[in-house]
Structure 1
Amino acid sequence: MEDYRDINRVHWDERAPAHAGSPDYAIERLVAEPDRISDVVAFDRPALGDVGGLRAVHLQCHIGTDTVSLARLGAQVSGLDFSPASLAEARALAGRLGLDVDFHEADVYDAVEILGAHAFDLVYTGIGAIGWLPSIDRWAQTVAGLLRLGGRLFMREGHPSLFTIDDVRDDGLLVVRHPYFESEEPQVWDEPGTYVQTDVELRHTLTHEWNHGIGEILTALLDHGLRITSFVEHDSVPWEALPGAMTVDDRGEWSLTEGRDRLPLSYTVQAVRTG
């Protein structure tokens, strides 16, 4: 059986230039406006607080729009991703912005070996990251391995409850069909297109993904010596997760058009390494 990383890497390699050219990532606005940060980091900023002077790493950084945004807020940032095409776009963006951000090509589970143990004040990971990983426990072990004592994890992610939804019926009811809990075998998807506006015709449509329940995520962090300091569920996500049933606001966040209080769509968790 082909390795899930190889399958997913060609998927992301193909999408990286399409994403960089899409108005949804707003790269030209980042270049044109010296104080601009990504919509994702702008959403996170009130909870994220002051990151000035922090040694930070952005895991699964993709094309680097959130990574350079952290740098614009004053952090000394490293970005890590397994997709060389994504990192090419990230390095090009950092260069256009005149920012000193170092990017590393590696699987997230190899981050400690590549970047060094207990070297960071902040581990940042954003929307759409952990679903590509088969083991949330290994991810939490990696986070703990990267953080210095007292260092902090900041993660906002799509809610596992959202990822159980198959579709929205004509009467507005949500259909739960997919696994909530982590499974040994991946969910295998073969779907055209991507989550941003693009005219690029994409050929690599196969992906392997995993859901991870909230209890599994928090327990994994606790098991690896992190103390949960904040957990907040949100009624929005930064992409149209349920097409035709959502409305976008002026922040670029999407919520259910009807009954938005029915389903958590994303969450933010913060944790500090204590042991």
Structure 2
Amino acid sequence: MEDYVRFNQASWDERAPVHATSRDYHVEAYKTDPKLLSQVVTFDLPRLGSVEGLRGVHLQCHIGTDTVSLSRLGAKMTGLDFSAASLAEARALVRDSGDDVDFVQGNVYDAVELLGEGQFDLVFTGIGALCWIPDIRRWAGVVAALLRPGGRLFIREGHPMLWSLDDPREDGLLAVEFPYFERKEATVWTEGGTYVETDHVFANNTTHEWNHGLGEIVTALLANGLRLTMLEEHESAPWDPLPGMSERLPDGEFRLADRPWRLPQTYTLQAVKPG
């Protein structure tokens, strides 16, 4: 196992149970409300279109709330993640909710070997997934191989411009501090805590991450034979990435309170494999 995988997997394994019991993920609500959909999926319903009857795979599915949401919209979903602890929480969720979703453990680069070539009408990936991938072209090749002719990739992801920013400054300026473009060397973080509210003290706090420019992502998909059919940048995100500088919108998204048009925070992308 490569070192970056070992570090990242240890971090996610430790955080998954905390995420599953946090109020941010609403796991208990999924078990009692069969109509509940995740905020990420709900935001993109106007763009997603019908998934009824599609066979779909959610790459890097974590604890499965987006995966379950797509299943509730009518897709036959499989979730893939490298974290055994994340998948334990995902399986517990569907066991208690009654949703029909399969979960498979594995590295995203091994998805074709694990799940089969040309088996899916829909490949989905969500917020905070691509930063764990060192080589975006290799990832795009996996996506293309998983899709059947006529199948599509659908992404809602944090914008690479947002990932390149430093923490909020006291003077309110936005400072570009980290790579925008993909680099061979990872950005290595050693930070306690996580993105949900918790008092838990974590032991595995080192992670390796990579950014990928928007042009690099699009070019990687085109180079692997996919056809881009949608790319929409958004001034909001489903979490508060810049505390102290944000305002919460009625739909639960966050954007800059001061001149939000300055910064794309997320994007939605769709690409189709020609039939």
TM range (shorter): over 0.9
Q: Who is 1:166 aligned against?
A: 166
Identify the range of structure 1 (195-204 vs 101-110) with the bigger mean alpha-carbon deviation. Answer: 195-204
Whether the 8 Å CA contact 1:59–1:108 is kept in 2: the answer is yes
Separation in 2 of the partners of 1:162 and 1:213? 11
TM-score by length of 2: 0.97
Counterpart code for 1:57: V
What corresponds to 1:24 in structure 2? 24
Which residues of 2 match residues 72-151 of structure 1 at below 5 A?
A: 72-151=72-151
Distance in 2 separating the partners of 1:252 and 1:185: 35
The separation in 1 between residues aligned to 2:204 and 2:10, in whole angstroms, is 7
Cα deviations by residue, 1:179-238 (Å, 9 ceiling, x for unpaired): 100000100001111111122221211100000000100000000000000000001111
Q: Could you say if the C-alpha distance between residues 251 and 28 of structure 1 is closer, same or farther in structure 2, counting changes exceeding 3 Å? A: farther
User: For residues 239 and 13 of structure 2, what CA distance do their matches in structure 1 show?
Assistant: 20
Deviates further, 26-35 or 9-18 = 26-35
2: distance between equivalents of 1:242 and 1:191? 17
1:228 aligns with 2:228: yes
Q: Which residue of 2 aligns with 1:35?
A: 35
C-alpha contact (below 8 Å) 2:32/2:97 kept by paired residues? no
Q: Which amino acid aligns with 2:231?
A: F
TM-score, length basis structure 1: 0.97
1:2 Cα deviation from its structure 2 partner: 5.9
| Stretch of structure 1 that moved more, 166-175 or 181-190 | 166-175
Q: Deviations over 1:2-29 (max 9, x none)?
A: 6100000000000000000000001122
The Cα offsets for residues 112-165 of structure 1, whole Å up to 9 and x where unpaired, read as 000000000000000000100100001100000000001000001100000111
Equivalence for 1:53:
53
Q: Aligned AA for 2:22?
A: S
> Which amino acid in the other structure matches residue 48 of structure 1?
L
Identify the residue that residue 266 of structure 2 maps to in structure 1. Answer: 266
CA distance in 1: counterparts of 2:156 and 2:230, whole angstroms: 11
Deviation at 1:100, TM superposition (A): 1.6
Please give the alpha-carbon distance, in whole angstroms, between the structure 2 residues aligned to 1:92 and 1:108: 22
Conserved? CA contact 1:119–1:146, under 8 Å: yes
Letter in 1 for 2:203: R
- Unmatched tracts of structure 1, length 5 or more: none
| In structure 2, distance between residues paired with 1:244 and 1:145 | 43
Given residue 206 of structure 1, which amino acid in structure 2 is its aligned partner? T
Q: Amino acid of the residue matched to residue 186 of structure 1?
A: A
Distance 1:14 1:251 in 2: 30
What secondary structure does 1:52 align onto? coil
Deviates more, 1:183-192 or 1:25-34: 25-34
2:116 partner letter: G
Aligned-residue sequence identity (percent) comes to 60
Deviations 1:63-88 (A, max 9, x none): 00000111111100000000000000
Q: Indicate whether 1:250 and 2:264 are aligned.
A: no
1:53/1:75 contact within 8 Å kept: yes
Secondary structure in structure 2 of the residue aligned to 1:28: helix
CA contact (8 A) 2:188 2:208 kept: yes
Q: Provide the alpha-carbon RMSD of the alignment.
A: 1.2
Aligned equivalents of 1:176, 1:216: Cα separation in 2? 18
- The aligned amino acid for 2:6 is D
Following TM superposition, by how much is the alpha carbon of 1:252 offset from its aligned partner in structure 2, in angstroms? 2.5
Task: Say if 1:235 and 1:264, in contact at 8 Å, map to a contact too.
Answer: yes
Matched letter for residue 83 of structure 2: S
Aligned to 2:195: 195
Following TM superposition, by how much is the alpha carbon of 1:247 offset from its aligned partner in structure 2, in angstroms? 1.9
Aligned counterparts of 2:163 and 2:126: Cα–Cα separation in 1: 16
Gaps of at least 5 residues in structure 2 are none
Residue equivalent to 2:153: 153
Partner residue of 1:179?
179
